[in-house]
């Protein structure tokens, strides 16, 4: 049976190497700082930092970096009993540069990395079955055996009564082609209860460079309880069976957008899991999404994903200050 308010996040955790200088290409960077990352892990830590209960399920290399990442989960209050280690593969690395405009470029080292090698047999089904919300991305769909493990984990969570939350978190360089990425990302679309896409992902999945309602509704499926489109500093758009609208974000000075989407998702899920009736109550939902927008906004004011994820006090301060 689903545990009291536990959010279980499934997928990759890796190390981002970020240039010590801003606004340079990877080749121009004078040096790099290591920063723990991976969207599903960021979401789990975002939830825990806001005072929620979170667990992470995934595979790391049995190496210095993998052990470091597991320790970071524990230090941040995330249950790591679903983490397994691979002695034959390394923890994934990503070199991420922030261009002068604050947007990111990626170069990945995963051939194959440990997260891709998680098997169905290695899943901690006890933790998955305790989830009130089971959250995942699409990177874990790229390669076997992780893809099969991902599908089994979703099935087990659904059977146990969890809400399924999906953030595709498109990383095109990791896919064989754009066509395969689109096809695989959409292959599990009709199983989720909550889906969040960015404006860039909306354009990629629909082929239309617009965030108008009729474009977003191309991604609507009857299984959904909530479809969200984040539109950067403009906030987010929401769609349910009964209502739709936009919630504005908060004005901040942006330094680094890394992790903002994960902070948004973590903040949203941490509130929804306390009161699922918000999915049917527009006023409650708008409050949840305002909280999520504030969480995302704060994350952009500092460098790196995990160090910049906010506490509940920081989120409430921004909301009250506005």
* Contact (Cβ atoms closer than 8 angstroms) between residue 54 and residue 42: no
Query: Which position among 86, 167, 199, 262 bears the catalytic label?
Result: 262
CA distance 79 to 232: 30
Locate 68 and state its tokens: 């470091």
Instruction: Look at residues 46, 27, 91 and name the one whose alpha carbon lies nearest to residue 308.
Output: 46
Instruction: Look at residues 54, 57, 33 and name the one whose alpha carbon lies nearest to residue 118.
Output: 57
Contacts of 26 (CB under 8 A, 6+ apart): 19, 95, 97, 105, 107
Helices (H), the chain: 39-49, 64-75, 125-129, 146-159, 178-187, 199-206, 213-216, 260-272, 282-299, 312-321
Could you give phi then psi for residue 128, rounded to 5 degrees?
-60, -40
Cα 182–Cα 289–Cα 245 angle in degrees, nearest 5: 75
How far, in Å, are 173, 177, 184, 258 from residue 189 at the CA level?
A: 21, 19, 9, 25
Could you give phi then psi for residue 220, rounded to 5 degrees?
-75, 140
Could you give phi then psi for residue 117, rounded to 5 degrees?
-105, 10
HSE value, Cβ hemisphere, 13 Å, CA-based, for 267: 29
Contacts of 44 (CB under 8 A, 6+ apart): 7, 9, 54, 55, 56, 73, 78, 135, 266
86 flagged as catalytic: no
Question: Annotated active-site positions, please?
Answer: 262
């Amino acid at each position: 049976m689903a545990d009291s308010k536990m959010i279980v996040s499934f997928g990759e955790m890796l190390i981002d190497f970020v240039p010590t200088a801003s606004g340079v290409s990877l080749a121009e960077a004078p040096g790099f700082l290591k920063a723990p990352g991976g969207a599903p892990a960021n979401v789990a830590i975002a939830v825990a930092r806001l005072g929620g209960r979170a667990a992470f399920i995934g595979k790391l290399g049995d190496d210095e970096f993998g052990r470091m990442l597991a320790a970071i989960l524990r230090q941040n209050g995330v249950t790591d009993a679903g983490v397994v280690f691979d002695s034959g593969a390394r923890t994934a690395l990503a070199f991420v540069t922030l261009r002068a405009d604050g947007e990111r470029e990626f170069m990945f080292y995963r051939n194959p990395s440990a997260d891709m090698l998680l098997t169905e047999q290695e899943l901690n089904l006890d933790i998955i079955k305790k989830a009130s919300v089971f959250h995942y991305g699409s990177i874990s769909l790229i390669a076997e055996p992780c893809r099969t493990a991902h599908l089994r984990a979703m099935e087990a969570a659904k059977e146990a009564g969890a809400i399924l939350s999906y953030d595709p978190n498109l990383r095109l360089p990791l896919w064989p082609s754009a066509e395969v990425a689109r096809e695989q990302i959409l292959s599990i679309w009709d199983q989720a209860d909550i889906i969040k896409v960015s404006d860039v992902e909306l354009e990629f999945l629909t082929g239309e460079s617009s965030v108008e309602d009729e474009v977003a509704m191309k991604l609507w499926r009857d299984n959904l309880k909530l479809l969200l489109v984040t539109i950067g500093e403009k906030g987010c758009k929401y769609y349910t069976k009964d209502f739709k609208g936009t919630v504005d974000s908060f004005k901040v000075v942006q330094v680094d957008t890394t992790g903002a989407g994960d902070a948004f998702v973590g903040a949203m899920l941490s509130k929804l899991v306390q009161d699922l009736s918000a999915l049917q109550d527009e006023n409650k939902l708008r409050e949840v999404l305002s909280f999520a927008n504030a969480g995302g906004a704060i994350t952009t004011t500092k460098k790196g994903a995990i160090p910049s994820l906010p506490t509940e006090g920081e989120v409430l301060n921004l909301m009250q200050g506005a």
